[in-house]
């Protein structure tokens, strides 16, 4: 099904869609191409967008009154566009070169220049949602024109000029920081042509200036920011050119430093990175704009931006401890055992980690603890072969678009047989776990947004690499939320990071779906589990199936239909170390991970 116009326009909007006056933000577009004469280009413009042509010279024309405003088409060579070549000939001795010879020589030079110099179509600023209006013209030109990849010397680009939400120095600084952090990623996304990289048209910012900007202590005034930028970047040839914006903020200050530079002041950034792949049928302006939206999203997320800046700054500095830390995190790669990442909170959670790591080691895996704080300055996750999403604090309701709801308290019924030895061991271990939790875990309520974001990254990595996942309690709920499901709240909880303890003893009877992956792992139709959660699964996410319920109908286990080795259980199997049945969950995870490691 085709995306509706409303949905398509919404997908192009940045997190901050309006400017400081409350109007929709706009974006200007400059498109470079070759292979067409000026008259042919203006013909296609009027044919698609309407309007009338004012031809100013053989190298420049203005198309007035189109459906998007006034469009300028120009040969992107100042010598020809401003007729400097002709004035040079006029200064020569007329007896040596006549007027016809001058015109012939000028045309010959223009023909040679056309091999290297493109025509540029400059569109007026449009509301961002109206960017698709230019796609029809882009498609028409693509049948006749040449772009970046058509010739080895075509260092052509697509320039985007997004209007900034406001011109406060803090806002501009956030955009520059976000771009510096994402620069290498954007190069990969745009697949920058090597010729453009070597041409000098998009020379990257120097390391010294990047370190200055990324430093959290760098909080300049507007004058300081402009002076620092001009001192380090007295050129338009940057992948993100700030000179038009800085001229808009203080033109006199910029002109004092760069009196001869051609700069048109405007409240917009000048993004020069994308290639102009106009002759490729699957290329579009919207595709390149969506790559820029990465910068928009990061610039508007203060917490994430600060974290990424700290990390990127350390990478640029290249300290010894950074590389030692990276080596330590990848140390398990030297082992033949599968590396099992176990997530948890920054503070507390030691009993859960201790018991989970013990279960993983017993199953033959190599457990590695991973918490959000470990990656506050380093968002790149280390390799792992399997993932355990541990229990902990409540998940932020904003992740599933729902306020906390109450769930009526219900008591499960039914009895199962348990041996005397297991009963005694369970009752000996349960108080010890309770004491450990009280001593080493935090008693708190609320949500942990940092952990939510961190575990989302971990789960995305696991799903992308087709790795096995075991969600425990909160982890099972998180899997459901990730796929679009919801939760209900109101259950009394034991987990230390959340609230009051209940029991770690297996007192809740659950029934397993005979066709589920969980049933094949544990080998039983019914079993008893502990009940320590404060939230529970409500609506199932896309592709999620229930693999176990208790007597009240509450979801106790789930799995992803297409990849059942991604599963979650509502109970805490790590707190039942004497149960061989519960240990099978960890054994299955490790075996799945081992099969992928090989």
Helices (H) and strands (E) in the chain, counts: 21, 19
Cα–Cα distance, 175 to 177 (Å, whole number): 5
With a pLDDT cut of 70, the percent of the chain lying above it is: 75
Give the residue, 182 or 93, on which the prediction is more confident. 182
Largest CA distance in the chain: 118
| Pairing mode, strands 119-127 and 69-75 | antiparallel
Residue 82 pLDDT > 90 = no
Specify burial of residue 91 (Cβ count, 10 A radius: 0-12, 13-18, 19+). Answer: exposed
For the chain, the C-alpha Rg in angstroms (whole number) is 31
Question: Looking up tokens 């520059």, which residue turns up?
Answer: 176
Mean pLDDT of 551-556: 90
pLDDT at 532 (0 to 100): 77
431, HSE (Cβ side, Cα atoms, 13 Å): 4
Q: Cα torsion for 403, 552, 583, 505, to the nearest 10°?
A: 90
| Pairing mode, strands 469-472 and 566-569 | parallel
pLDDT at 380 (0 to 100): 66
pLDDT at 18 (0 to 100): 96
Question: Which CATH architecture describes the domain 326-597?
Answer: 3-Layer(aba) Sandwich (3.40)
With a pLDDT cut of 90, the percent of the chain lying above it is: 54
Ordered by start, the domain boundaries in the chain are 1-18+149-318, 326-597
Q: Name 396's Cβ contacts closer than 8 Å, sequence gap at least 6.
A: 447, 448, 449, 452
Predicted confidence band of residue 501 (pLDDT cuts 50, 70, 90): very low
Residues facing residue 510 across a β-bridge? 527, 550
Q: Three-state DSSP class for 44?
A: helix
pLDDT tens sequence across 135-156: 999 999 999 898 888 877 778 8
**What is the DSSP annotation of 308-364?**
HHHHHHHHHH--HHHHHHHHHHTGGGGSSSPEEEEE--SSS-HHHHHHHHHHHHHTT
pLDDT at 536 (0 to 100): 86
Predicted confidence band of residue 105 (pLDDT cuts 50, 70, 90): low
Which is nearest to 75 in space by CA: 37, 101, 108, 103?
37
Residue 516 pLDDT > 80 = yes
Q: Which pair of tokens denotes residue 179?
A: 């771009």
- The per-residue pLDDT of the chain, averaged, comes to 82
255-269, 301-315, 419-433, 565-579: lowest mean pLDDT where?
A: 419-433
Predicted confidence band of residue 83 (pLDDT cuts 50, 70, 90): very low
């Amino acid at each position: 099904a085709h995306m509706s116009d409303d949905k398509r326009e919404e997908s192009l909007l940045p997190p901050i869609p309006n400017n400081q006056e409350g109007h929709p933000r706009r974006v200007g577009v400059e498109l470079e191409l070759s292979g067409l004469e000026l008259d042919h280009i203006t013909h296609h413009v009027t044919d698609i967008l309407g309007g009338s042509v004012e031809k100013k010279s053989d190298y420049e024309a203005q198309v007035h009154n189109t459906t998007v405003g006034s469009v300028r088409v120009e040969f992107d060579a100042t010598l020809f566009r401003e007729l400097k070549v002709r004035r040079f000939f006029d200064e020569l001795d007329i007896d040596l070169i006549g007027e016809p010879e001058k015109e012939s020589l000028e045309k010959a030079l223009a023909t040679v220049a056309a091999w290297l110099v493109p025509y540029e179509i400059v569109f007026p600023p449009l509301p961002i949602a109206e960017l698709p209006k230019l796609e029809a013209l882009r498609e028409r030109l693509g049948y006749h024109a040449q772009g970046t990849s058509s010739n080895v010397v075509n260092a052509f680009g697509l320039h985007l000029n997004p209007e900034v939400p406001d011109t406060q120095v803090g806002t501009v600084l956030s955009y520059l920081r976000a771009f510096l952090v994402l620069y290498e990623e954007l190069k990969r996304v745009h697949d920058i042509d090597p010729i453009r990289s070597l041409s000098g048209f998009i020379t990257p910012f120097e390391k010294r200036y990047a370190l200055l900007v990324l430093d959290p202590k760098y909080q300049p005034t507007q004058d300081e920011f402009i002076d620092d930028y001009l001192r380090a970047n007295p050129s338009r040839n940057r992948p993100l050119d700030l000179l038009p914006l800085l001229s808009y903020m203080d033109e006199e200050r910029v002109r004092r430093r760069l009196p001869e530079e051609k700069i048109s002041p405007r409240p917009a950034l000048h993004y020069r990175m994308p290639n102009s792949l106009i002759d490729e049928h699957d290329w579009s302006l919207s595709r390149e704009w969506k790559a820029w939206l990465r910068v928009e999203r990061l610039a508007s997320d203060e917490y994430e931006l600060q974290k990424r800046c700290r990390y990127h700054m350390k990478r640029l500095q290249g300290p010894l401890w950074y590389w030692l830390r990276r080596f330590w995190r990848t140390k398990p790669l030297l082992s033949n055992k599968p590396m099992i990442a176990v997530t948890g909170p920054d503070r507390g959670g030691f009993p859960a980690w201790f018991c989970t790591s013990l279960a993983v080691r017993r199953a033959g895996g190599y457990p590695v603890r991973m918490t959000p704080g470990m990656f506050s300055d380093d968002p790149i996750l280390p390799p792992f072969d399997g993932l355990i999403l541990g229990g902990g604090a409540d998940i932020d309701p904003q992740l599933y678009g729902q306020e906390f709801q109450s769930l009526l308290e219900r008591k499960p019924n039914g009895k199962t047989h348990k041996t005397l030895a297991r009963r005694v061991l369970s009752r000996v271990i349960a108080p010890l776990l309770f004491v450990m939790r009280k001593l080493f875990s935090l008693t708190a309520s609320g949500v942990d947004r940092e952990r939510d974001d961190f575990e989302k990254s971990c789960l995305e990595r696991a799903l992308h690499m087709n790795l096995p996942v075991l969600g425990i309690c909160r982890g099972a709920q998180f899997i459901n939320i990730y796929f679009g499901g919801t939760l209900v709240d109101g259950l009394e909880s034991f987990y230390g990071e959340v609230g009051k303890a209940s029991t770690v003893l297996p007192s809740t009877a659950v029934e397993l779906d005979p066709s589920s992956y969980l049933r094949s792992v544990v080998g039983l139709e019914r079993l008893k589990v502990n009940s320590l959660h404060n939230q529970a699964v409500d609506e199932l996410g896309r592709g999620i199936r229930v693999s176990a319920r208790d007597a009240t109908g509450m979801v106790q286990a789930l799995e992803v239909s297409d990849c059942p080795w991604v599963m979650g259980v509502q109970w805490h199997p790590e707190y039942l170390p004497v149960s061989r049945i519960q240990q099978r969950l960890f054994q299955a995870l490790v075996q799945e991970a081992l099969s992928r490691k090989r």
